[in-house]
Amino acid sequence: MRVTRTWAKIQRNAPLHRKLSTESHQCRRVIAERNATVNAFVYTAEAVPTTNTAAPALPLSGRPIAIKDNICTKDMPTTCSSNMLKEFKPPYDATVVRLLRIAGADIIGKTNCDEFGMGSMNIHSVHGPVINPCHSTRSSPNSPRSAGGSSGGSAAAVGAGMCNAALATDTGGSTRLPASYCGVVGLKPSYGLISRWGVVSFADSLDCVGVMAANVADTRRVFDVLNVHDQKDPTASSPESRQEASKMNTARRRKWDIATGSRPSLNGLRIGIPQEYFPLELSPTILQPIRRTIASLRSLGATIVPVSLPSTSYALSAYYVLASAEASSNMARYDGVQYGLHVRPPPGADLTKTSDLYARSRSAGFGPEVQKRILLGTYALTADAFDNYFLQAQRVRQLVKDDFDRIFHLPDVTHVPASNVREDGVDILVHPSAIRTAPALSEQSGLDAYVQDVLTVPASLAGLPALSVPVPKALRVEETEEDDWPVGVSVVGQWGCDETVLRVGEVIEGLGEDVH
Amino acid sequence: MLGHLRQCRANPLCTRRLFHDIRAYKADKRWPGWQVVIGIETHAQIKSRHKLFSDSLTSDLGEPPNRHVSLFDAAFPGTLPRLNQKSVDLALRTALALQCDIPSQSSFDRKHYFYSDLPAGYQITQQYAPLALNGRLTIDVPNIPSFAVRIKQVQLEQDTAKSTFDPRTRTASIDLNRAGTGLMEIVSEPDLRSPEEAGAYVRMLQAVLRAVGSSDGNMEQGSLRCDVNVSVNRIGRPPGTRCEIKNLNSVRFIMAAIIHEVTRQRAILDSASDLETVGVPQETRGFDEHRFETYKLRSKEDAPDYRYMPDPNLGVLRLTQDRISQLRGTLPELPWDTRKRLRGNYGLSERDVEVLLNVDSVREVKLDGEEVEGNSGAVAYFDRLCNEQGTNGRSRDPKVVVNWMTHELLGQLSARKQSFADNQISVQQMGELIDLVQSKVITGTSGKLLLRHMLANPSPLRTQQIAENLQLTALSPFFPSSTGARSTSPTSLQDTKPSPELYGLCLDAINALPSEAAAVKNGNKNVLNKIVGRVMKESRGRADAKSVKALVEELLSVNE
């Protein structure tokens, strides 16, 4: 359904007694005005009005929330931006969508993304690329910029004010990178906290549902609704682990999270700055705002600790082997038999080999980036390559995880008791979310697209909570700088320390007021 | 998260093992000078209510297609597996019965291939860290010398869907009822040495699965399928290259396939000029059930690379010692223990034991290992008949009981084309019937008649009551004693007088057959049987032939 037509219909048909929240109303108007250029939404739902105004307010009552198009919705298509699932309408809601509905959210529509979540520019989409909705006063308006990927539609929708919050997914940075490019908040929670049931798998061991919003408070509100154990997800972390982590975190936060008047105090908070996250490719337009952010945090009382995560340089290759291997496996189900695109063989074709039949549907259904990763992953899993690629990557993944465990104060309670603290450890890490601001869509994405992932992939491999927060404008722009596009700063914590990460994000959000 | 991967080291395609023969060579006159080496991979469907990773019910054969299918079974995007712990318990019971080691951790892997019977494009199995390892199954049955087979491993995996192709309409139909049903793959070491041993191994395995309730082991219905690896070598030479014969679904086919394979492989080796270099090409073969021959499916070069990958959703399956001990403690009696007990405790013959065990080998296996209520098989029925005190206050003679069960009860059931499960005669009724015959309240002939009646007309009444209603109580050759109690210990005819009814029947017969009576009087003893026969007929089996004969003789001699 075309977005504009939907909007017209809503306006025409809306009876007077049906009340939409002001925000739902406002967002639908923005969608109608701007989506044609931004291309964030690929489907917009008809407004479901709040029928009972006397009903007790639910946590998300009247809040329009967008859903990335690789998360299943029973009343809307779920295309994963793929030709393969262009007509696919799942008969079920993902657990996260169900939870949002129960919490009173207005599921406003489905957002564009890279095909099956594979990409970092949101250009690999059957719906076309997403255009970054941010404005620049200085750069040329003629070269549209990328919203980032793979959750570009969700980030752009939040950035453009088309929704209050959006669900995204994050396999290796797909929430944090677009959040950084579009100047919004993006949270990739600890692996296993949010149910993946109904979320179309790209790489199960890395996939997380992410939350995006304009500010940390809105992000947290949605996260709190989704942060419940789901029996349908075999990788869901146990209620015991959740409780243990939460208890440990609250206790630790009491040491520093003391608001004194309007000015937060970070006395006692130890922030690690990982040296490997400042690569040569890091643009100066990123470096300066991040430095200022760190300086501001120090001025609030935080202790800044330089740390090293030596396995980081191997993380990227490990990530691509593992993610592609799992992707090649997960994509195997798209054969055009039970659902999805089915290409009929031409008359006279050899029907004896099933794989020949599948190849027709799969060749037509998958775009080039997905095909590339299927081939890479298939190779990594062949008997000859398995040891050198897949198993080697698994070992690197463990090393990356060990790196983090060595520098954090709190332990990962899914593996060791909460008492195993490191006195000299840090509470969180702070580093840039991206090596640059949003690239122009016209720029050829070569190997750069992969180098970018260096900053986001380690937290995915280790299953850690990671939040990208826009650096406040006041810290960002020197009058002389020509690039005033958003810059994101990442906050990463130990497994289960999501609330701590959000809390620090909130402090960063408010830093601007401090400086000026 | 990654611990279980340490076990991934072994390359799945590199499975050639060193050969150390645990079996002593025994000549076989069908192929003198040759040794046959056989190993079997058995796929047994787990008799569980739900599928292995979804909430859908498992299906019986013949149910309408695609009735029991969940989103997960159809591999819809976004669906995730959830391990059915009841299936795990059933597989563990099997592993314990096969004396396997059960590691505290096992894990699941994906085996990839594209085929229409595999909706996800991969099968979840246990390639790198199976559920159980290093077991042993001893086959100790009549007619074959006892031998042991090592069990390499027991692993859990998903069954596939069923796809059928209609060449006329050129359409393929897919039925997902079976997709995702739990299977146990039980892999033997190459310890079998003849087609007969292979058959006995599979039958024994069937009996074990049924005894522990983990599978009904029904080969005809496809809930037990075998892949058989066969190689041959000349005595003293290293083992030959094995060929795998896929998907054999009866013991008869297994044996026939092995025999054909031995002949085929010998012919290849015989025709070779150079013993050192010649070998049977490694192949995967099928079995033609009409021609009783194996045929080539694919060669080693065409072997697919399944691209095994640890399943990222299911992670590690951890088993506590408590859980394993609990299962071990509640393991039902295993076939060899039953056999030993029936022979040792009751002194039954090999043949009788075999009959009872065979009856139980087709009894119903309940879902999720649940106990069968009431009549739970021939052995249990027999046990109760022997162990419950008889109506006469004494325990029953196991040999008498087994005769009644095997000859009469099972015989008449089979004459009625019924199975033991259809038997409606309770243990109490059957026991009383045996007691009535033993104490001569009714004759053996009447007992059989009564049994037939009770099978045809199930009734909750006591057996004695039914016998009296049918007037089947024996015609005592004796007068009732003065107290009115029925005499149960006959002494001699001289001490007592026959009952009036039997006396009357005998006199009637003598009167009805005057010439025969005369002949007997004249010393022609052979004719006596004719008179006795008539009495027996008139008594409708209620009379005891020996007593009648004595009585008639006595009557005729008295008349003399």
Query: What does the DSSP assignment read for B73-122?
Result: TTT-TT------HHHHHHHHHHHHHTT-B--SEEE-EEEE---TT-TTSE
Contact B312 A200 (CB under 8 A): no
Chain A residue with minimum CA distance to B317: A234
The answer, yes or no, to whether residue B169 has pLDDT greater than 80, is: yes
* Tokens read off for A403: 């790196």
- Please tell me the predicted confidence (pLDDT) of residue B541: 76
Min distance B75 CA to chain A CA atoms (Å) = 6
Backbone angles phi, psi at B3, to 5 degrees: -55, -45
The pLDDT tens digits of the residues spanning B449-482 come to: 899 999 999 999 999 889 888 887 777 655 443 3
- Residues linked to residue B158 through DSSP beta bridges, in sequence order: B182
The pLDDT tens digits of the residues spanning B320-341 come to: 999 999 999 999 999 999 999 9
Domains of chain B with bracketed CATH = 32-306 (no CATH), 333-469 (no CATH), 493-559 (1.10.10)
* Tokens read off for B383: 């046990």
Residue pair A133/A182 in contact by the 8 Å Cβ criterion: yes
CA atoms within 13 A on the CB side of A275: 7
Contact B78 A381 (CB under 8 A): no
- Residues linked to residue A408 through DSSP beta bridges, in sequence order: A426
What does pLDDT average to over chain B?
A: 87
Report the length, in residues, of chain A. Answer: 516
What is the rounded distance in angstroms from the CA atom of residue A507 to the CA atom of residue A500?
11
Min distance B330 CA to chain A CA atoms (Å) = 29
Residue pair A266/A256 in contact by the 8 Å Cβ criterion: yes
* Tokens read off for A49: 């009005």
- Please tell me the predicted confidence (pLDDT) of residue B470: 83
Interaxial angle between packed helices B335-346 and B350-360, expressed in degrees from 0 to 180 and rounded to the nearest 10:
140
* Tokens read off for B411: 């015989």
Chain A residue with minimum CA distance to B13: A383
- Please tell me the predicted confidence (pLDDT) of residue A453: 83
- Please tell me the predicted confidence (pLDDT) of residue B497: 57
- Please tell me the predicted confidence (pLDDT) of residue B442: 86
In 3D space, the residue among A292, A299, A294 whose CA is nearest the CA of residue A474 turns out to be A292
- Please tell me the predicted confidence (pLDDT) of residue B528: 85
Interaxial angle between packed helices B195-212 and B85-97, expressed in degrees from 0 to 180 and rounded to the nearest 10:
130
The answer, yes or no, to whether residue B64 has pLDDT greater than 60, is: yes
The answer, yes or no, to whether residue B388 has pLDDT greater than 90, is: no
Mapped onto helix, strand or coil, the DSSP state of residue A168 is: strand
**Using the 8-state DSSP alphabet, how is residue A459 labeled?**
H
- Please tell me the predicted confidence (pLDDT) of residue B16: 42
- Please tell me the predicted confidence (pLDDT) of residue A348: 84
* CA angle, residues A506, A510, A513, in degrees to nearest 5: 175
The answer, yes or no, to whether residue B374 has pLDDT greater than 60, is: no
The answer, yes or no, to whether residue B560 has pLDDT greater than 80, is: no
Chain B residue with minimum CA distance to A192: B313
Mapped onto helix, strand or coil, the DSSP state of residue B319 is: coil
The answer, yes or no, to whether residue B268 has pLDDT greater than 80, is: yes
- Please tell me the predicted confidence (pLDDT) of residue A20: 66
* Tokens read off for A17: 């007694």
Contact A72 B77 (CB under 8 A): yes
Chain A residue with minimum CA distance to B55: A232
What is the rounded distance in angstroms from the CA atom of residue A218 to the CA atom of residue A456?
22
> How much is the average pLDDT of B437-447?
87
In 3D space, the residue among B398, B335, B388 whose CA is nearest the CA of residue B361 turns out to be B335
The answer, yes or no, to whether residue B48 has pLDDT greater than 80, is: yes
Q: Say how far residue B425 (Cα) sits from the centre of its chain.
A: 22
- Please tell me the predicted confidence (pLDDT) of residue A209: 98
Residues from chain B that touch A88, judged by Cβ atoms under 8 A, are 77
- Please tell me the predicted confidence (pLDDT) of residue B349: 93
The answer, yes or no, to whether residue B6 has pLDDT greater than 50, is: no
* DSSP labels, A206-217: T-EEEEEESSHH
Is ipTM > 0.90 here? yes
Interface mutation target, options A230, A335, A350, chain B, most CBs of B under 10 Å: A335
Burial track B483-514 (b if 16+ CB lie within 10 A, e otherwise)? eeeeeeeeeeeeebebbeebbebbeebbeebe
Q: Is pLDDT larger for residue B142 or for residue B36?
A: B36
Contact A355 B8 (CB under 8 A): no
Task: Report how many Cβ contacts below 8 Å link chain A to chain B.
Answer: 118
Percent of chain B with pLDDT over 90: 61
Note down pLDDT in tens along chain A; length 516 residues. Answer: 444 444 445 444 444 444 567 899 999 999 999 999 999 999 999 876 655 555 668 999 999 999 999 999 999 999 999 999 999 999 999 999 999 999 999 999 999 999 999 999 999 999 999 999 997 666 555 689 999 999 999 999 999 999 999 999 999 999 999 999 999 999 999 999 999 999 999 999 999 999 999 999 999 999 999 999 999 999 999 999 999 999 999 999 988 876 655 677 899 999 999 999 999 889 999 999 999 999 999 999 999 999 999 999 899 999 999 999 999 999 999 999 889 999 998 888 887 788 888 999 999 999 999 999 999 999 999 999 999 999 999 999 999 999 999 999 999 999 999 999 999 999 999 999 999 999 999 886 666 667 788 899 999 999 999 999 999 988 876 655 567 899 999 999 999 999 999 999 999 999 976 444
What is the rounded distance in angstroms from the CA atom of residue A443 to the CA atom of residue A466?
28
Residue pair A146/A434 in contact by the 8 Å Cβ criterion: no
Residue pair A453/A170 in contact by the 8 Å Cβ criterion: no
What is the rounded distance in angstroms from the CA atom of residue B531 to the CA atom of residue B514?
10
Query: Averaging pLDDT over each range in A78-92, B274-288, B410-424, which range is the top one?
Result: A78-92
In 3D space, the residue among B322, B168, B299 whose CA is nearest the CA of residue B244 turns out to be B299
Q: Is pLDDT larger for residue B493 or for residue B173?
A: B173
Contact B77 A94 (CB under 8 A): no
Contact A332 B81 (CB under 8 A): no
* Tokens read off for A456: 């986001």
What is the rounded distance in angstroms from the CA atom of residue A194 to the CA atom of residue A275?
30
Residue pair B181/B20 in contact by the 8 Å Cβ criterion: no
Min distance A187 CA to chain B CA atoms (Å) = 21
The answer, yes or no, to whether residue B312 has pLDDT greater than 60, is: yes
Interface mutation target, options A381, A388, A414, chain B, most CBs of B under 10 Å: A381
Q: Catalytic residue positions of A?
A: 68, 150, 174
The pLDDT tens digits of the residues spanning B103-142 come to: 999 999 999 999 989 999 999 999 999 999 999 999 988 7
Min distance B206 CA to chain A CA atoms (Å) = 33
- Please tell me the predicted confidence (pLDDT) of residue B85: 97
Contact B82 A234 (CB under 8 A): yes
CATH of A1-48+58-516, one of 3.10.180.10, 3.30.420.40, 3.90.1300.10, 3.40.50.1000: 3.90.1300.10
